[in-house]
Amino acid sequence: MPQPSLPPLPSLSRLNKLEQTQARERRVFFIWKDPGDTPADVERDRLIAEGTARADDEFIHIRWRRPDEK
Per-residue pLDDT of the chain (70 residues; tens, 9 = 90+): 567 777 766 666 777 776 666 667 889 999 888 777 777 788 889 999 999 999 889 999 888 777 777 6
CA distance 62 to 30: 7
Give the model's pLDDT for residue 67: 75
Give the model's pLDDT for residue 49: 93
Q: Buried (b) or exposed (e) across 31-54, using 16+ Cβ within 10 A? A: beeeeeeeebeebbeebbeeeebe
